[in-house]
Chains A and B, each alone.
Chain A
Amino acid sequence: MNGETDITGADGVPDPVTADLRLSVNGVPRPVTVDTRETLLDTLREHLGLTGAKKGCDHGQCGACTVLVDGRRALSCLTLTVTADDVEIVTVEGLADGDALHPLQAAFIENDALQCGYCTPGQLCSAAGALAEAADGWPSAVTPDLSAPPRLDETEIRERMSGNLCRCGAYPGIVAAVGQVAR
């Protein structure tokens, strides 16, 4: 970090405080120097050229920016990049295995779980996170039996995917696609 004392630039506006980070995105080391106020979403989109994660609201309301941080869902628009040092970040660009689509990606296509597709990167990362949470035994608000591993039925999928808006209303397809992979 720098600028710990005088942070005022010539124009009266404070000079940005920057940080050198060792990000790891989709398995690739991505060292960056960022303004400490910058969100992970802006870093991904503007500095790393990874525009898959979308800025639908920039306020954590829509879910279009959802990425995986150490395997868990995170709203990248509400995540400061400086907090993502030394963690593994996975974006929608990193879900596929080379040319082979992730099963969720294939299921989204097969079930037409998208129209405009703007929410889709967030839906996919969110779904991947939801599958992992369930596999790790995390209950949700609608899990009936807290002592048994959660089963991702339609009710569970809806509950766990409820942070991701889809204005095209492709929800029935999303439920079907996630359910297909969860089985």
Chain B
Amino acid sequence: MSGTETRPDRGQSRERGHGPGVGRDLGVGHSAPRPDGTLKVTGEFAYSSDLYLADMVWGATLRGPHPSARIRSVDVGPALAMPGVLAALTCEDVPGELFYGLDRRDQPVLAADRVRYQGEPVAIVAADHPERARRAAAAIVVDYEVTEAVTDPRRAAFDPSCPAVHDGGNVVRHQPVRVGGDFTAPVVVTGEYEVGMQDQAFLGPESGLAVPAEDGGVDLFVATQWLHVDRDQIAPCLGLPPELVRLTLAGVGGAFGAREDLSMQVHACMLALRTGRPVKMVYGRQESFFGHVHRHPARMRYEHGADLDGRLRYVRAEILLDGGAYCSSTPAVVGNAASLGVGPYEVPNVWIDAYGVYTNNPPCGAMRGFGAVQACFAYESQMDRLAEACGLSPVEVRVRNAVSQGSRLATGQVIDSPAPLAGMLRELAAMPLPPEPSRTAGPVAVPPPAGPARAAAATSVPDPAGVRAPGAAATPDLLDLPGGVAQTTHGEGVRRGVGYGVGIKNICFSEGFDDHSTARVRVELLGGEPHVLVRTAAAEVGQGLVTVQEQIARTELGVERVTVAQADTTVGSAGSTSASRQSYVTGGAVRAACRAVRERLAVLRANGETLAETLERAGAVEETRVYRHRPTFPMDPVTGQGDSHAQLALCVHRAVVDVDVELGLVKVVELAAVQDVGRVLNPLALEGQIHGGSAQGLGLALMEEVQVVDGRVLNPSFTDYLIPTILDMPPMRVSVLANPDPHAPYGLRGAGEPPTLSSTPAVAAAVRAATGLRLPRVPIRPHDIAMDGSRYGNWAGDRSL
């Protein structure tokens, strides 16, 4: 069954099934409904792709087809000659800076002398109809000289003869972590792991509307994650001061990291300024696959050394992240992979080298989990192998090494808030397991039924011969089997497996970044009643931040009527909707501004006056506050030491799968999760975050991969890039802990990303338990199970002493 369990001693009771009612508390800790919910279910919510102005025209982008090529010439003449075409622009038309980027300004607004990845923008056009714009873009003639593409990240990193994708070499960042010096142990397990390139695959493709303004500036309505950093990249490229580039958040159809970098922003503004007309740009699904960064694919080598009792003595790791053609946020992704590379375990000796490299593959950057996802798959796979080697259950080996409050990370940072990992694992393991698939009459071999003790241990390789279910011959209901109605066997090869995964994620921006948010809160009388207006630049992308902002204002000010204004750049930066940080940082800013308003009101208020009377007499009260979390510090470039993170969050998953080992089909039967969120702000919205993060981790484990061969993407569509459907997503058991972090507003802990980490290794471990295969790569494809499994050797045969 699906459901969240919250015990009375730890959080708010579950409120699913109750709509907002009169007098119901809709403040912090309650399942206040989304203020945008009604607009979203009636189709009235205006997404960036829904914007319309009567005189607007349409922009389109011409993208280079080659992963690496020199551009000899670009001729926009044929496009300009077409009816309805208003402009066709190239790099020579960029009014200001030619490059932008989150970390390094290395990405051309439009390619100049060369293209570095398949799909790089070369020219843009504006026309009076989207189809005319598309055809005009296609009519532009570009003369390319194809050059050698660098597509092997290992070669890019370590082969001096490899061509440089950018001047200055291919290594974007190398971050070592060095602790201790004893790399010997009686039990050693080694493994090489790979994570494929995952796409955020938000359902609302990149889009926006740029409107030229009379003051020579531009107003841009766009779906993004961070309005101010967009503006600070756009304005220099347009040659405009930042105050002439005004951004307003349009409705965001999902983000997951993919809107952290610019896509059509500068292009639409350039076309608007050139044509003097509002310009709308909307990517199609295929273009979207080329229009944003992906999750870094990773190649990782791990060696874990432990005592015979399973306690870790050392971890050595090399983590190689393919950043693709441009820098994006690769340095920060490398920082996360390095600092969290051993996972939430106490390890006295650590030797990690994490690299992010340039190649001519698609650019990679932010995606939910950000660098911690890749390492988590590898270290959790290693923990299972260590369990096997030491004869321990996966839960026990993790419990024995689990961090807790006071533990030291590999970076030397001490965990100074609750981190009850061992207890979380025990709780997870004690959750009841789902029943075996229902069976009807007929003879068939099935694996032994998993009793609680055996299944909780979950490492036993199922008896390959199988045994009959007790109580007589049984045939599984095909509808319950992996593949469902598409099953072509009668389930003879179906095996059940159970696996565990643990993840640790940094919350908020790390490594010394000045991470802050700004909130303006105004209390006034509206229709004779007190009303609160909250204004921030924080991007609501579906996670429910607008709800949380309202709840905070209600709780802090005791006013029921609260409105959160549409986010724009008329107020200070809120930072990015990334790193699970907005409830913490923008929530902190809203709380601080509310408290400042409250203090002002306390001074203004005369004895016995109601709030309405005070506001009537004294007028509106407005305060703006900037909130910063505690400072973080850079990692030492040689040793990796440093208190680089503001907050750390833990999530643990158990996955139960049925695998048809002959067909290679996997059905996830159940996911269970335990997560410590510090404080539950909104139980219903939190549950959604845990479901969603778990689903995306499941996708990475079993189906999601941008397939890139020789720098070319093979599957830029939802026919070929598969994301979990409602049939793939199993029922979930969720248990939420609320051990407050004393450093954070309300004690909260960022919640959106941690489940994305731990569900992937849990599902992979469950498939391994069911098949006995090593499966060192995600996503695990059917042929990894059914065809090529033998080359990985037997799961149990890898013990090294």
Contacts and interface: CB of A to CB of B under 8 A. Distances in A.
B404 to A, nearest CB: 30
B485 A142 contact: yes
A149 interface: no
Interface size range of chain B in the complex: 35 or more
B719 A61 contact: yes
Contacts of B255: 116
Given A162-B727, A175-B726, A109 B33 contact: yes
A101 B717 contact: no
Interface in B4-49: 16-19, 31, 33-34, 36-38, 40-47, 49
B252 interface: yes
A122 B542 CA distance: 17
Contacts of B695: 169, 171
B95 interface: no
A162 B726 contact: yes
A173 B485 CA distance: 24
B484 interface: yes
A164 B202 CA distance: 13
Interface in B183-235: 200-205
Contacts of A170: 688, 691-692
Given A114-B37, A165-B718, A174-B726, A119 B43 contact: no
A112 B687 contact: yes
A117 B37 CA distance: 8
B140 interface: no
B693 interface: yes
Interface stretch (A51-59, A68-76, A79-87): A51-59
B729 A171 contact: yes
Contacts, number: 191
- Chain A interface SS verdict (over half): loop
B788 interface: no
A11 B83 contact: yes
A50 B52 CA distance: 11
A98 to B, nearest CB: 11
Interface in A126-162: 141-142, 154-155, 157-159, 161-162
A116 B688 contact: no
A172 interface: yes
A171 B691 contact: yes
B466 to A, nearest CB: 26
Contact of B42 (A52, A53, A157, A176): A52
B284 A58 contact: yes
Q: Would you list the 5 A-B pairs with minimal beta carbon distance, nearest first? A: A52-B43, A116-B542, A169-B695, A117-B40, A118-B253
Given A117-B41, A171-B729, A172-B729, 15 more contacts: A10-B83, A54-B204, A55-B49, A91-B43, A92-B42, A93-B44, A106-B19, A109-B41, A116-B204, A120-B40, A159-B727, A165-B203, A165-B725, A167-B696, A173-B688
Interface of B: 2, 16-19, 31, 33-34, 36-38, 40-47, 49-50, 52, 82-83, 135, 200-205, 251-256, 282, 284-285, 479, 484-485, 541-544, 684-685, 687-688, 691-696, 717-719, 723-727, 729, 731-732
10 contacts: A52-B43, A56-B205, A109-B37, A114-B40, A116-B541, A117-B542, A118-B204, A142-B485, A167-B202, A167-B256
